[in-house]
Amino acid sequence: MSKPTVAVIFGSRSTEHDVSIVTAIASIIRPLELSGKYSVVPVYIDKKGQWFSDPKLKDISLYTSGSIDTFLDKQKPISLRIGVGMEIVLRNGLKQRSIKVDIVFPATHGTHGEDGELMGMLEMANVAYVGCDLPSSVISMDKSLAKIIAQAAGIPTSRFVWFYARDFKTNLELVLEMIKPLKYPLFVKPVHLGSSIAISRVNNESDLINAIEVAAHYDDKVIVEEAVTNLIEVTVPIIGNDDPRPALVEQPMVKGEDFFDFDSKYMHGGKKGKSAKRGAQGYSKLPAPLPKKLYEKSEQTALEVYKAIGCKGIARVDLLIDSKTNKVYFNEVNTLPGSLYAHNFREAGISNVKLVEELVNLALERRTGKQKLTTSFSTSYLKQY
Ligand SMILES: Nc1ncnc2c1ncn2[C@@H]1O[C@H](COP(=O)(O)OP(=O)(O)O)[C@@H](O)[C@H]1O
Ligand SMILES: [Mg+2]
């Protein structure tokens, strides 16, 4: 029997394009191949949004050397045939060849991928795919929607309000009135972005207005929320469909008033702690040195969020803890954690190879479950015409 074909889709029109290349090649393609169980096909979406597939796209040096553009100039973009499953159609002059895809492994961080767009296409294609589905991806990508769902499920979040950027431009008074009951310091964030882009922490109204202007420049929706004080930040990677389980509660290193920015997350000049390990994103304590009760409460809260939002396969739930009151607040969900947070799963006893195998199996299990649902309903509706 031939091996199932896994197509790993990565890159795309996103500020996290380059991070996606590393996640795809180092944390997904390599372990999938090491398992020896799959035929792995790379599908690279360039920054313009053109799709390519060639075995050479599995080689990280193509990207690190900068020769990717000249390589792609000589390649023909692929097309997809979708319907009862998905096929990649490759053209070479007049010749055409297609590869049937059994499972898609999305590795796209951020916009045009992790945000649900890709999942919608994969649902229409009727193909099994790894990770969060369309609705959970859409909800998780919007910090306000994720908090609203969490709140409705009784999970604590810091107090917040959200509004459209256009409301701020046309009716500043009303927006300020909405924000008034919140206590400073406040965090102002564009709801859809990651990597701390355009996020500010403010202490007074004039800084607040400036911060909203910045956020509104990047996004059509803005969230303003109270800062959690005496902050301990933790993050919990989770794996599973209906019966999810956490890996280790991890504590990223954040100093006092400071908060993560793009460089400290992804660049080697990131903040370091002596006892900390280098994780996928800068430095962290693994497992988080929390008292047992608080550790378990973090696991529990993260699992509740995962279930409330309907996450599938894998996601990472970020929490903010007030270390004085021991209250655990939900902050946000990442449906495609950088490098799959493989360092954390490894420490929890799941090797990178096992992790990707399990994710592929969860994708197949979910598709089988979905196929059992009735999608047709016979009626005499058409007969009346
Ligand atoms: N309500 C809050 N209270 C305290 N710190 C916060 C709060 N919201 C965000 N932060 C800090 O800002 C960082 C970035 O905010 P976050 O909502 O996680 O956005 P991003 O998508 O950029 O990761 C967090 O990791 C945390 O350090
Ligand atoms: Mg975050």
Report the C-alpha gap between 104 and 98 in whole angstroms: 15
- State the pLDDT at residue 324: 97
Distance 194 CA to ligand 2 centre (A): 7
Last residue of a domain, one of 177, 210, 226: 226
156-171 pLDDT per residue, tens:
999 999 999 999 999 9
On whether both 341 and 270 belong to a single domain, the answer is yes
Mean pLDDT lowest for which of 53-62, 258-267, 309-318? 258-267
SS3 50: coil
Last residue of a domain, one of 91, 111, 131: 131
182-203 pLDDT per residue, tens:
999 999 999 998 778 899 999 9
- State the pLDDT at residue 275: 46
Distances from the Cα of 125 to the Cα of 103, 121, 143, 279, angstroms = 11, 6, 28, 35
Residue 198 lies in a domain: yes
Distance 194 CA to ligand 1 centre (A): 10
Residues contacting ligand 1 via CB (< 6 Å)? 158, 187, 189, 194-196, 199, 225, 227-228, 231, 233, 254, 259-260, 318, 320, 331-332
Atom of ligand 1 nearest to the CA of 160: 1
378: which residues sit within 8 A by CB, 6+ positions away?
Answer: none
On whether both 248 and 280 belong to a single domain, the answer is yes
On whether both 301 and 323 belong to a single domain, the answer is yes
Residue span of the structural domain in which 344 resides: 229-371
Asked if pLDDT for residue 277 goes beyond 90, the answer is no
On whether both 247 and 342 belong to a single domain, the answer is yes
- State the pLDDT at residue 60: 97
Residue 376 lies in a domain: no
Report the C-alpha gap between 331 and 352 in whole angstroms: 27
On whether both 211 and 234 belong to a single domain, the answer is no
SS3 185: coil
On whether both 177 and 276 belong to a single domain, the answer is no
11-66 pLDDT per residue, tens:
999 889 999 999 999 999 999 999 999 999 999 999 999 999 999 999 999 999 99
Q: How confident is the model at residue 254 (pLDDT cuts 50, 70, 90)?
A: low
On whether both 208 and 267 belong to a single domain, the answer is no
- State the pLDDT at residue 224: 98
Residue 381 lies in a domain: no
On whether both 100 and 20 belong to a single domain, the answer is yes
CATH of the domain at 210: 3.30.1490.20
CB atoms within 10 A of CB 262: 14
Distance 165 CA to ligand 1 centre (A): 20
372-381 pLDDT per residue, tens:
888 778 888 8
Asked if pLDDT for residue 331 goes beyond 70, the answer is yes
On whether both 243 and 185 belong to a single domain, the answer is no
For the chain, how far is it from start to end, CA to CA, in angstroms?
49
Last residue of a domain, one of 226, 246, 261: 226
Asked if pLDDT for residue 304 goes beyond 70, the answer is yes
Q: What percent of the chain shows pLDDT beyond 90?
A: 82
On whether both 169 and 233 belong to a single domain, the answer is no
DSSP 227: P
98: which residues sit within 8 A by CB, 6+ positions away?
Answer: 81, 87, 88, 89, 90
- State the pLDDT at residue 273: 41
Domain count, the chain: 3
